[in-house]
Structure 1
């Protein structure tokens, strides 16, 4: 289900363990995110989108547009 997080991880030559550390989860949990066996929590999606400079919409296959949205002005 979340093939894009796998593809982005592989494109950046990262292991599941490395991304799992970024998200503060076990490698097994992260693996289950990639296969869709476990839903990814929104805070983790935000972390991944920020890390990969993309949008959550792209990660969950709602768009094919890979660019991140512009930052909100504060």
Structure 2
């Protein structure tokens, strides 16, 4: 399964064997052995290959059938706090609550910046 998925993803990303081999730091013949199933890469090489192919190592080795990586999650708290319908353990947060939280976080970050300057 690994060899088949490896070749499939390389072709899907329109990459040559040489391009992937160079990225991984192995000879083209070594990489070709991975795609034919003749050779088995190290765990580190599988991780590197998965980065180049923009897929997960779990997909390549058959632990999942999802070849695409999940969309990047935005963890910017400021954007979350601009959502109108937030709650804390089921208790709705009012606009005033959110304003207070935003002001508190702004203060924490200003204080942190001042501390670093000293």
Displacement of 1:53 in angstroms is 2.6
Higher helix share: 2
Q: Which residue of 2 aligns with 1:11?
A: 12
Highest relative contact order (Cα 8 Å, sep 6+), 1 or 2? 1
Number of residue-to-residue matches in the alignment? 71
Superposed CA RMSD in Å reads 1.9
Structure 1 runs of 4+ aligned residues shifted over 3 Å read: 67-70
Change in 2 beyond 3 A, CA 1:47/1:13? same
Q: Which residue of 2 aligns with 1:27?
A: 28
Q: TM-score, normalised by structure 2?
A: 0.53
Larger Rg: 2
Q: TM-score, normalised by structure 1?
A: 0.81
Check if 1:66 corresponds to 2:67.
yes
Q: Which runs of 5+ in 1 are unaligned?
A: none
Check if 1:57 corresponds to 2:58.
yes
Which region of structure 1 is more displaced relative to structure 2, 22-31 or 48-57? Answer: 48-57
Q: Which runs of 5+ in 2 are unaligned?
A: 73-118
